[in-house]
Amino acid sequence: MADGELCIQNALRMAPKDLFFDREPEIRTILDMCLQLAALPAQSCALMGPRRAGTSEIAKRIYKELFINQESILPFWYGFDRVFQDPVHFARDYFSQLVRQYLAFQGKDPTLLLPRVIRFEAIERMVTDCSDARLHGLRDDFNAALGDADRTALLAFTLQVPEVLAQGSTGAACVILDHFHRVFRMNWSDGASLTELFPQAMGSPAVPHILTGQAEVLQRHYLSMETTAGRIRRISVAGLDSKRALEAFLAFCKRYDVAVEQEAAAHELHRFQGIPFYMLSVIRRARQEGIALNRWDAIRDTYFAEVEKGEIAFYYDSLLNRCCPGPFAKRDAIRILSHPLLHAGSRLALEELAKRLLLDLDAARVLVDALASSGLLAENYGMVAPVENPVFDDFLRVAHRYWIGRVGSDEIRKDLFRGTQDVPVLTELKKDEVSEPGRKEKHRVSFGLVLPMVSETELVAARAAEQVAERVDFPEEDIGRIRMALIEACINCFEHSGSEDGKIYITFTLDTEKLSIVVEDKGVSFDPKKVPVPHRPEGTGAPSRRGWGLELIRNLMDQVVFEDVPVGTRLRMVKYYPKDTGLKAQAG
C-alpha cells in the first residue's frame, strides 16, 4: 500500500508528509461528511481560507483517504491547472481524468493515476481493454456528444460523468475540484460557461463536490450566484492556531536543519498567520543563508528578506504581474493597493483614488477589476482596499517603497518594523504571585516578565520598564535612569549568572510611593560586598573599564538590595515617585 500512497502523492503533487502540518480536525470533518453519504444526502462545499492556507493540501488528503481507506464512494479529483480556450479540450481532459481515476479506484491500482498528463486516446484504449460494458457505453455516449455541435450539451454531459459512474457502481461519489477559481477564466463563445453549468452537477445529493480556490474569488464569482447561494457549504479553513503553528515552525526548522529557539519563534510567530507557506519560505531562506533562527530579530530579518526578495515576494509579484499588462500598470497597481496602508487604513472610492493618484479612471477600473478577480483586492461598498492579509500588506509596503519611493532596503526595513518593535507582553500578577515580604499594601499592582537570555533581551526589559513607568508620571530623566539600571541588571544575569534555565525573571511592582523592580536569575550566587569598587580617575586618567554595572545601578536608583535566595541572584531596586505623583490607574 505504501507504493500506492506514493503514486497518489505523486499524481496529486502532494506536499511530503513532514511538510504538511497536521490538519486532522479539518480533514476529519469533511471526511465524516462524505462517509455519511450512504445514509444522508451530502452537500457540496467550498474550502475557504486565506491565500496559501493549505486548502488544496487538505483536499488532496481527503482524496487519498477516500481512495485508500473505503470502497463505497468513488473519489474523483480534478485540478484546474490549465485554462482551456476550447470547451472540447476541457471536456476531453475532464472526461479522461475522471475515467482514469474510476479505473484506478475500481481496480485498486493507483499506478493508473500516473502520469499526470494523459491523452484522450490512451483513455479510450484503456476503456476498450476493460470488460466493463457500462464504461463502453459511457465512452460511446461521450464520443457522440463530441460529434455534436452543441457544446453546452457536451459540457453538461461531461460534468455528469461522476454521477453516471456512481449510479453504475457504488451509488455515491465525491468530486474534488482544486483551484476552482480558474474556471472563471474559461469563457468560450460557443456554449454555456462552466460557471453556469457546474451548479447543477454540484446539486446532486449523491455526488458532493468539494471546491478549493481563492476564497474571495470563489465568493465573488461563484458562491453568490442564484444557482449556488445557500446550496454550497462554506467551510472556512483558518491558518494554524498558535499552538499548532509553533509546533509546525519548530518541526520545519528541524526538517531543514535550521537552529531555532522556541521563545524567539513564539515571539515572531504572529507574522506568519499560521500559514505554513510563509514559515517555510523563511526557514528555507535561513537554511540557504546559514542563518540560525534562535533570536527573534533573526527571524524578523529573515522574514523581511523574504517579503523583500524571497519566495514570498516572488509569489505576490507573480500574482501582480498576472493582473498587469506592463510595468507602468504594475506601478499603478501597487499605488492603488498600498494607498490605504499608507493612509492609516482609510479607504477611498475608485474615482477619488484615481483623482488623488492622477490615474486615468478607465485604466484604473480595468486594473482594479483584474486585481479583484485575482483575489488581491476587495471592493466593499465601492471602497477599494487590498484583501485582508498582513503578509501581503508587508509585501505592498516594501514594493511601494521600491517602486515609488525608491528608498533603500535598510530604510524600508526600519519603517516596516517601527510600529511593532519589541513591545513585551506584561502579565499582571495576582497578589499571591508577588514574592514581596512585609505587609501587603492595598494599592499595589505587579507585572511579571520572563525573558530568555538572548542578546539584546535587556532592551525588551527596558521597553517594559518604560511601559510600567509611564503609568505613574515619572519624569523623563527618571525613566531613563530606571531603564539603564534595568539594562545593567539584565546583562549581569546574562554575563555572570551562568544560569542553566537561561531565563531572567523580572517583576515590576507599583505601589503608592514607589516602583520596585526585582530581577532574578537561577544561576550562581555571589557576594556583592566582595565586588571591588571601580576606579574613578582624579585627574585626566582613565577610569576602570569594567565593574561599573552595580555602581551605576546603585547610583541610578534610590534603593538597591540583593535578597537572599536559595539559588541564583535576586536584585531588588526601588525608585520613589517624585512628589505629587502616584499610581495613575490602580490595578490596570
Partner 1 sequence: MGQFQMDVKFDRDFVVFYTNGYINDLGGEKIERTCEDILREGYRKVIVNFSESPIINSIGISILIGLIDRVKRAKGSVCFTNLTLNNTEVFEFMGLTQYAPVFPNEEEAVRFTMGHA
Ligand X SMILES: Nc1ncnc2c1ncn2[C@@H]1O[C@H](COP(=O)(O)OP(=O)(O)O)[C@@H](O)[C@H]1O
Cell 469533511 belongs to: 30
Residues contacting residue 122 through CB under 8 Å, at least 6 positions apart: 96
Among 98, 202, 282, 493, indicate the residue that binds ligand X (CB under 6 A): 493
Among the listed ranges 165-173, 455-463, 510-518, 560-568, the one in contact with partner 1 (CB under 8 A) is 455-463
Q: Report residue 207 as a C-alpha cell.
A: 455526488
Q: Which is nearer to ligand X, 52 or 483 (CB)?
A: 483
- The bridge status of strand 233-236 relative to strand 74-79 is unpaired
CA dihedral 490→496→502→508, nearest 10 degrees, is -30
CA angle 280, 284, 286 (to 5 degrees): 120
Please report which helix (H) or strand (E) contains residue 514, including its range.
Answer: strand 514-521
CA-to-CA distance for 372 and 378, rounded, in angstroms?
Answer: 6
Q: Is 578 in the site for partner 1 (CB under 8 A)?
A: no
CA-to-CA distance for 344 and 355, rounded, in angstroms?
Answer: 19
Rounded least distance, CB 323 to partner 1, Å: 34
Q: Is 531 in the site for ligand X (CB under 6 A)?
A: yes
Which residue spans within 367-409 are E strands per DSSP?
377-380, 383-386
What number of residues does the chain have?
Answer: 588
Among the listed ranges 168-176, 260-268, 316-324, 551-559, the one in contact with partner 1 (CB under 8 A) is 551-559
SS3 sequence, 515-528? EEEEEEECCCCCCH
Q: Is 524 in the site for ligand X (CB under 6 A)?
A: yes
Among 214, 492, 509, 516, indicate the residue that binds Mg ion (CB under 5 A): 492
- The arrangement of strands across the sheet holding 377-380 comes to 348-349, 383-386, 377-380
Number of residue whose CB is nearest ligand X: 549
Q: Is 488 in the site for partner 1 (CB under 8 A)?
A: yes
Q: Is 487 in the site for partner 1 (CB under 8 A)?
A: yes
Q: Site map for partner 1, 290-309, x if CB under 8 A?
A: -------x---x--------
Rounded least distance, CB 525 to ligand X, Å: 7
DSSP 546-566: S--HHHHHHHHSSEEEEEP-S
Q: Is 521 in the site for ligand X (CB under 6 A)?
A: yes
Rounded least distance, CB 422 to partner 1, Å: 8
Site for Mg ion in 499-558 (CB under 5 A): 549
* 3-class secondary structure, 116: coil
CA-to-CA distance for 79 and 12, rounded, in angstroms?
Answer: 8
Rounded least distance, CB 417 to partner 1, Å: 8
Q: Is 121 in the site for ligand X (CB under 6 A)?
A: no
Q: Site map for partner 1, 55-94, x if CB under 8 A?
A: ----------------------------------------
Rounded least distance, CB 467 to ligand X, Å: 23
Rounded least distance, CB 516 to ligand X, Å: 17
Residue type, 70: Q
* Burial of 367 per CB tally in 10 Å (0-12, 13-18, 19+): buried
Site for partner 1 in 521-540 (CB under 8 A): 534, 536-537, 539-540
Rounded least distance, CB 304 to partner 1, Å: 10
DSSP code for 14 = P
Assess contact for 43 and 233: CB atoms under 8 A.
Answer: yes
Residue type, 145: A
Q: Which is nearer to partner 1, 332 or 478 (CB)?
A: 478
Binding-site partner at residue 536 among Mg ion, partner 1, ligand X, none, CB < 5 to 8 Å by type: partner 1
Q: Is 368 in the site for partner 1 (CB under 8 A)?
A: no
CA-to-CA distance for 277 and 56, rounded, in angstroms?
Answer: 12
Rounded least distance, CB 455 to partner 1, Å: 8
Q: Report residue 378 as a C-alpha cell.
A: 476587495
Cell 515609488 belongs to: 404
Q: Which is nearer to partner 1, 262 or 421 (CB)?
A: 421
Neighbours of 264 (CB within 10 A): 21
Among 546, 564, 566, 579, indicate the residue that binds ligand X (CB under 6 A): 546
Rounded least distance, CB 522 to ligand X, Å: 10
Q: Is 491 in the site for partner 1 (CB under 8 A)?
A: yes
Among 24, 362, 477, 564, indicate the residue that binds partner 1 (CB under 8 A): 477
Phi, psi of 529 (to 5 degrees): -70, -25
Which residues here bind ligand X, judged by CB under 6 A? Answer: 488, 492-493, 495-497, 521, 523-524, 526, 531, 546-550, 569
Which residues here bind partner 1, judged by CB under 8 A? Answer: 297, 301, 410, 417, 421-422, 455-456, 458-459, 462, 477, 480-481, 483-484, 487-488, 491, 495, 534, 536-537, 539-543, 545-546, 548-549, 551-552, 555-556
Which residues here bind Mg ion, judged by CB under 5 A? Answer: 492, 549
